[in-house]
Amino acid sequence: MIPSTALMARRIRRILLVCNNYDNFSLEEDGRLDMRIAQEYTDLNLSGPPVFERVSSTREALEKSAAGERWDLVITLYNVGEVDVFDFATRMKEVSPGMPVVLLTSFSKEVYRQLERRDHSSMDYIFNWNGSTDLIIAIIKLLEDSMNAPADILESGVQCILLVEDSVRYYSTYLPLLYKLVLQQNVASIRDALNEEQMVFRKRARPKILMATNYDDAVALYNQYKENLLGVISDIGFVLHRGDKPASEKLDAGVDLCKMIREDLPKMPILMQSSQESMRSVAEELHAGFLMKRSKTLTHDLSEFIGREFGFGDFVALDKKGKVLARANDLQGAEEIIARLPEEELERLKSKNYISRWMLARGLFQEGMAIKNTNFQDMDLYRRTAVESIHEYRVRQSLGVVARFNPDTFNDTIWFSRIGEGSIGGKGRGLAFLNHVLYKHRLYDKWEGVRLTVPRTLIIATEYFDRFILENGLQYVINSDISDAEILSEFVASNLPSDLTQALRSFIRVVKTPLAVRSSSKLEDSYYQPFAGVYSTYMIPSVENEDQQLRLIAKAIKSVYASVYFAASRGYITATANVISEEKMAIILQEVCGAHEGDYFFPTLSGVARSVNFYPIGYEKPE
């Protein structure tokens, strides 16, 4: 998998905001701009969120620039000083040609006249601002998407959406909405992440939004990124060249763009938008969606189209009348739907590239592109390939990681997981490291017909040991002199935390083999004190009755907890100069590998394996 650090490498760090005191107050106090951006960067595991510097006039900004200060982005409001914003943008570009300059303004007839009359080519974007911080955050994202597009899209396979719109008023509305939809899609894709690294990767790998305000730029962006394009949202009338006056717009430029794309990529989803209802029939002839710009349901209609055609949201299979046949909100559910969907409905999804587009929108770049670029003549092969691609991805993403155990999403492709905070213990660390080594050296499928993994493992971290002791009032055992049998009786009669019990129920619904319930204390398997054979291990058979299986596992876990305070354990802890009150126990639940023979289950291998002795004493030698 692509490392998350390879994505979003270029970022906007310093922003100069030229505005009056009232607008600054609105952003800082009402909009909480700094806090919102800082939170977003924290979610993306990015350090150094953008820092805003405010000046109250264009002259003050120019003075700072003349003194050598530089920024990654300048955002200015309209009436902010003697030097008007048009001259200000030109002078800032003379100093820093590559620095974006963005104008925020509320629109009036006077503003329109000035934009018609004055040269504003030095401004990268002009936005209609109503005081919302959502627009400023969208502007930062738009610029960062543009900066990172060549590397993230062309080299790493990140997907994108092309927005073509020359109306300042409408793209100022669309951008925050589109980014909101992308964020919702991101949240959906995170559902399949198994650990923090995978969550961060999915957040950074979200689809990018690229915007063009004229025909030339739209064609250039399409040609550059068409292989990674989820879809196109286009106005119907817009200017042909950058810098053209609005009065010179070509009324059907969007139609020309749509025809060009249809000839090149017939399956590309396109949404056309216009303020004229008469253009709906034109869009239908081009097999494109259509939105009325002035529709009261614009937001809902846009969201619905993107979810249906761009592969956002749930995986949804429809019949020919548009009725929902099946829906899934994660990869496992999608895999199951594809496996059983009738051939006619599967053919309908294939004709729209829906399955590959849904996979690409969720970050399955390699798998999605492979299906998208293969010409399947046989529907059984198409079904089998799609199912195997998703399943193999689910298996591979679990290799080498310690997944966060989630009772709602735990499934048969997750091999190594943990539940709870605190330590996973020495033995757990060793198994986790072995799991990492197998992945790092690509040993999982190195040999044909063989899959090499650590047996399916769930580690219950030390948090639950602490809670078990406290919630059942067992602290007195630490300093008591009661017998091992009495300790065991007390522990077995106590209750595990309720959330752990529910998690174990989810675990045994997936795991249908005998289990080893193993100790993994903080002191166990350390460099100089192995603690081998000190604590208890229990073998649990697989039984059909779920409640009985749960009782057996719970009793074994509590028995391992009890073994921390047995006389032999106390003696060993004292002999190794440790303190009993500092010892904590994690639990390893691990599948027993083997095969059924009638009513018996035979482990694949049983015995003691000896390796290099890392603890030679006296006359002993390491080998």
Phi, psi (deg, nearest 5) at residue 246: -55, -30
Question: What residue type is assigned to position 112 of the chain?
Answer: Y
Nearest to 363 by CA among 182, 501, 217, 535: 182
pLDDT, tens digit, 9 for 90 and up, residues 330-376: 999 999 999 999 999 999 999 999 999 999 998 899 999 999 999 99
CA angle 347, 338, 306 (to 5 degrees): 75
Secondary structure (DSSP) of 521-589 = ESSTT-SS---TTTS--EEE---S-HHHHHHHHHHHHHHHHHHTTSHHHHHHHHHTT--GGG--EEEEE
CA 429/CA 77 separation, integer angstroms: 56
pLDDT band for 48, please (50, 70, 90 cuts): low
Co-location of 44 and 78 in the same domain: yes
| CA–CA gap between residue 238 and residue 215 (Å, rounded) | 7
pLDDT at 122 over 80: yes
pLDDT given at position 43: 65
Pair 430, 389 in one domain: no
Can you give the pLDDT at residue 38?
75
pLDDT of residue 47: 58
Q: Are residues 370 and 517 in the same domain?
A: no
Final residue of a structural domain among 144, 173, 208 = 144
The total domain count for the chain is 3
Residue 72 has what pLDDT?
A: 93
* 49-65 confidence digits (pLDDT tens): 788 888 989 999 999 99
| Mean of pLDDT values over 213-240 | 95
Assigned domain for 370 exists: yes
Token pair belonging to 112: 């329109």
Whether 414 and 388 map to the same domain: the answer is no
What is the phi/psi pair of residue 27, to 5°? Answer: -75, -40
Mean pLDDT check: name the lowest of 104-108, 254-258, 560-564.
104-108
User: Each residue of 281-327: pLDDT tens digit?
Assistant: 999 999 999 999 888 888 888 888 988 899 888 899 988 888 899 99
Among 482, 481, 477, CA closest to 558: 477
Does 392 share its domain with 447?
A: no
Whether residues 410 and 351 fall in one domain: no
Shared domain check, 385 and 431? no
Q: Does residue 108 share a domain with residue 45?
A: yes
CA gap 517, 534 in Å, rounded: 14
Once rounded to an integer, what is the mean pLDDT over residues 408-420?
A: 91
pTM, entire model: 0.82
Which pLDDT belongs to residue 303? 86
- Among 438-442, 524-528, 600-604, the least confident range: 524-528
Structural domain contains residue 119:
yes
Query: 240 in a domain, yes or no?
Result: no
**Final residue of a structural domain among 351, 376, 398:** 398
Report which of residues 515 and 118 the model is more confident about. 515
Percent over 90 (pLDDT), the chain: 52
In a domain, 587, yes or no: yes
Q: For residue 590, is pLDDT > 80?
A: yes
Pull the structure tokens for residue 358.
């849904």
Q: How confident is residue 1, by pLDDT bands cut at 50, 70 and 90?
A: low
Please count the residues of the chain: 623
Taking every pair of Cα atoms in the chain, the longest distance, rounded to a whole number of angstroms, is: 96
Which residue did the predictor score with more confidence, 31 or 445? 445
Domain CATH for 584: 3.30.1490.20
What burial letters (b/e) apply to 405-414, b meaning 16+ CB within 10 Å? bbeebbeebb
Mean of the pLDDT values across residues 121-130?
Answer: 88
Q: Do the domain assignments include residue 211?
A: no
Confidence category of residue 511, pLDDT binned at 50, 70, 90 = very high
198-221: average pLDDT: 92
Domain identity same for 389 and 416: no
Residue 392: give the domain boundaries: 315-398
54 occurs within a structural domain: yes
Q: Do 364 and 497 sit in the same domain of this protein?
A: no
Report the SS3 class of residue 419.
strand
Q: Is the pLDDT of residue 528 over 70?
A: no
Closest to 574 in 3D by CA, of 523, 520, 519, 613:
523
pLDDT at site 189 = 78
DSSP string, 201-270: HHHHTSPEEEEESSHHHHHHHHHHHGGGEEEEEEESSB-SSTT--GGG-BTTHHHHHHHHHHHH-TT--E
Convert the pLDDT of each residue in 14-36 to its tens digit: 999 998 887 777 666 554 677 77
For residue 565, being part of any structural domain is answered with: yes
The pLDDT mean for the chain works out to 88
Residue 621 resides in a domain: no
* pLDDT at residue 29, as a whole number: 58
Confidence of residue 45 (pLDDT cuts 50, 70, 90): low
Per-residue model confidence (pLDDT) at position 30: 53
pLDDT in tens, 62-98: 999 999 999 999 999 887 877 888 899 999 999 999 9
Say if residue 333 is in the same domain as residue 387.
Answer: yes
pLDDT computed for residue 44 by the predictor: 59
145-187 residue pLDDT tens: 999 999 999 999 999 999 999 988 889 988 988 888 888 877 7
User: Greater confidence, 333 or 244?
Assistant: 333
The fraction of the chain above a pLDDT of 70, given in percent, is 96
- pLDDT at position 285 is 94
- The pLDDT of residue 253: 94
Q: Is the pLDDT at 248 greater than 70, yes or no?
A: yes
Q: Are residues 439 and 456 in the same domain?
A: yes
Which of residues 380, 398, 416 is at a domain's end?
398
Give CA–CA dist 72/461, Å, rounded. 45
CATH of the domain at 51: 3.40.50.2300
Band the pLDDT of 256: cuts 50, 70, 90: very high
